[in-house]
Amino acid sequence: MTLCAVEAAEFDLRRTLESGQVFHWVERGDGFDGLIGSRPVHVRQEDGRLFVTAGMEDAVTHYFALDHPMDEIFGTFPHDSYTREAVASCRGIRIIRQPKWECLATFLTSAMKQVSHIRSMSRALRMRFGEAVEGTDLRAYPTAAALATATEAQLRGCGLGFRAPNLKATAEWIADGRVDLEALSEMETEAALVELCRLPGVGRKIANCVLLFAYERLDAVPVDVWIGRVLRAMRATGPVAELESYSRARFGPYAGYVQQYLFHHARVSKTLPKA
């Protein structure tokens, strides 16, 4: 397979793929195999460049958000020592641009699951309900229509546990148009969040993941157990909604980026801010 070079300064492929925002890429050979939507790609990083499947250069550039202005973004980060440690140790992580339904459904299954578990559920769902992609052993993420017609028992068979009825119900809402994921793109962030939270099994945390990872709302802050601990160590208090507004007020227009670096740093280093 011929590969083509793509410039990718200030980007770390492995860290980005392992930072808890996308769960289906597999390490293979000297790079990673994955799907962008239903299009197969192989990506390898070498120095400041990516080598990608010929014809996928533009799709890769968009998916991995290689156009994000990282100097400007880092320039808005707060200057406390913990955030500086996070930037130093997580450098190169991007907030990528994921397909909307795939992102929503994946994070719906993420409730109270570790990253490795989310990966295995994603794989099982793709294998059982996803379309085969020619020229690869990978399968596309199942459509909402496909998951709406699955039985709860089949979904439990993919390891979903109590998340099974939520995924089925939300798939039905999307498949029959009760919520239109494309229409959310035109809405204000807060209105889109309220709309997403109507879906069964979707609360503020999952809705913010979808807004951040699929709708380019780079100020959206998903508060999970890790970020909750980090923010409380920074003396934030109150319920999830209050931790979000604390973050946006303190971290600014790229609060979602700050959050992603703090999240990954806390997980990898197993440390919290001092005070």
> Would you tell me which residues interact with DNA (CB under 7 A)?
19-21, 107, 110-118, 120, 156, 159-162, 197, 200-207, 209, 222-227, 238-240, 242, 259-260, 263, 267
Measured from the CB atom, the residue of 45 and 110 that comes closer to DNA is: 110
Least distance in Å: CB of 49 to DNA? 25
Measured from the CB atom, the residue of 64 and 107 that comes closer to DNA is: 107
Least distance in Å: CB of 128 to DNA? 14
- Is 24 in contact with 34 (CB distance < 8 Å)? yes
Q: Which pair of tokens denotes residue 197?
A: 């939270």
Measured from the CB atom, the residue of 6 and 104 that comes closer to DNA is: 104
- Scan for tokens 């320039």, then name that residue: 75
Measured from the CB atom, the residue of 153 and 275 that comes closer to DNA is: 153
| Nearest one of 268, 227, 229, 270 to 251, comparing CA atoms | 227
Least distance in Å: CB of 159 to DNA? 5
Measured from the CB atom, the residue of 52 and 244 that comes closer to DNA is: 244
Least distance in Å: CB of 118 to DNA? 7
Least distance in Å: CB of 239 to DNA? 4
Measured from the CB atom, the residue of 6 and 17 that comes closer to DNA is: 17
Measured from the CB atom, the residue of 52 and 174 that comes closer to DNA is: 174
Least distance in Å: CB of 113 to DNA? 5
Least distance in Å: CB of 163 to DNA? 7
Distance CA 193, CA 181 (A): 11
Distance CA 22, CA 141 (A): 12
In angstroms and rounded to an integer, the radius of gyration of the C-alpha atoms of the chain is: 18
- Is 123 in contact with 109 (CB distance < 8 Å)? no
